[in-house]
Amino acid sequence: SRPILDMSYSRQFLDFQGSSIPSSMKKLVVTKLSQNFREAVTLQQDSPVPLPGDGDLLVRNRFVGINASDINYSAGRYDASVKPPFDIGFEGVGEVVALGLSASAHYSVGQAVAYVKAGSFAEYTVVPARQAVPLPSVKPEFLTLMVSGATAYLSLKELGDLSEGKKVLVTAAAGGTGQFAVQLAKKAKCHVIGTCSSDEKGGFLKSIGCDRTINYKTENVESVLRKDYPEGVDVVYESVGGKMFDLALNALAIKGRLIVIGFITGYQNPTGLQPVKAELLPAKLLKKSASVRGFFLNHYLSDYKMALQHLLKMYERGDLVCEVDFGDMSPEGKFTGLESVFRAVDYMYMGKNIGKIVVELPHSVNSKL
């Protein structure tokens, strides 16, 4: 017999009839360090469903988010001391199906929650109650805010110094985090320029308020910026790296700020980097009194809950578009089930997504939730 929880907890703590929690589950595990996600990650079919401790929730994941840095994690770039096997996936939305006694002070079975924690690419994840975010319902739109929305909000708030009339360039603007940088810069009454890779993405960007879209497949970004913005741009929200970083740096105005939130073009390389022309960086910054700042969400966790509450209110008021891409237009169709995470990562690196890539985890168990 399998001890699920101290039985004195009674049904309040474990929804036997409603959730039919199995003893084993599927999950994705990094079994070899590699920037090639398919090479690094294995789908395990019969992992034991983890048990929540006293202050924990057991969350049945319904939607999980794909991030560019999933392949940095599978390559072991964030913490060299961690050796495979280890769990992967940064964020999930689902419902509480079991919980510990202390956790029951604030949560109950059936409640919708979101979280940011390693190990979301699984059917069930144990989440410390203090790290969970209660939600009004299980919706994929809420997932877009957890990492992508919070990154855009906090980086622009802390480092952007946005004010009315400033010119803001957002690279990869139609992506999971770019969509929020565009909207938040517009809310600050800035003039927003967004780069993207298709006319369809350009149409989406215009619909969320982008003033000028640049399709880099059909237009020369450098020429457009030089011609249309001869004085330069005040803020760049940059996530592409490589040539785009060099180009954005050259486009900065006097006292311009370049915020680096990633460099996706390099992640698939063995080093995780793509060369930039950095030897001229000191001279270029000095010449313009400009700055380059990096932003990594983990360093701003003290402000995270405030940011998330602000974004949730904006979404609930209808002030924020949270575009979700389930891969409906991908060759094999919608991203459903953990096995489709591999396809979803490929889809991101092919630059196909509009908005945040989300994978749905359907549950065949009999559930009243």
Question: Residue 182 maps to which CATH number?
Answer: 3.40.50.720
User: Is 369 a member of any domain?
Assistant: no
Indicate whether 307 belongs to any domain: no
Same domain for 168 and 219: yes
Q: What is the spatial distance between Cα 170 and Cα 216, in angstroms, rounded to a whole number?
A: 13
Write the pLDDT tens digit of every residue in 307-362.
999 999 999 999 999 999 999 999 999 999 999 999 999 999 999 999 999 999 99
pTM, 2 dp? 0.93
Same domain, 132 and 185: no
Indicate whether 157 and 183 sit together in one domain.
Answer: yes
My answer on whether 39 and 104 are in the same domain is yes
Do 134 and 153 lie in a common domain?
no
| Within-domain flag for 310 | no
Query: Is 132 in the same domain as 41?
Result: yes
The per-residue pLDDT for 364 is 57
| In a shared domain, residues 329 and 355 | yes
Half-sphere exposure of 262 (CA within 13 A, CB side): 25
User: Do both 85 and 175 map to the same domain?
Assistant: no
What pLDDT, in 10s, does the model give residues 264-295? 999 999 999 899 998 999 999 999 999 999 99
Asked whether residue 292 falls in the same domain as residue 161, the answer is: yes
Residue 23's pLDDT band (boundaries 50, 70, 90)? confident
> What does the CA dihedral 241, 245, 248, 250 come to, rounded to 10 degrees?
-170
Q: Is residue 86 part of a domain?
A: yes
The per-residue pLDDT for 21 is 85
Count: domains in the chain:
2
Q: Which helix (H) or strand (E) holds 325?
A: strand 324-325
CATH number at residue 36: 3.90.180.10
* Three-state DSSP state, 106: coil
Q: Is residue 77 part of a domain?
A: yes
**Domain, as residue range, for 69:** 24-138+323-360
Q: For residue 265, is it within any domain?
A: yes
d(CA 347, CA 231): 36
**273 shares a domain with 207:** yes
Residue 120 shares a structural domain with residue 201: no
Same domain, 31 and 124: yes
CB under 8 Å, gap of 24 or more: what pairs does 268-274 form?
A: 268/35, 268/36, 268/71, 268/349, 269/35, 270/35, 272/35, 272/72, 272/75, 272/77, 273/241, 274/241, 274/242
- Tell me whether residue 89 is in a domain: yes
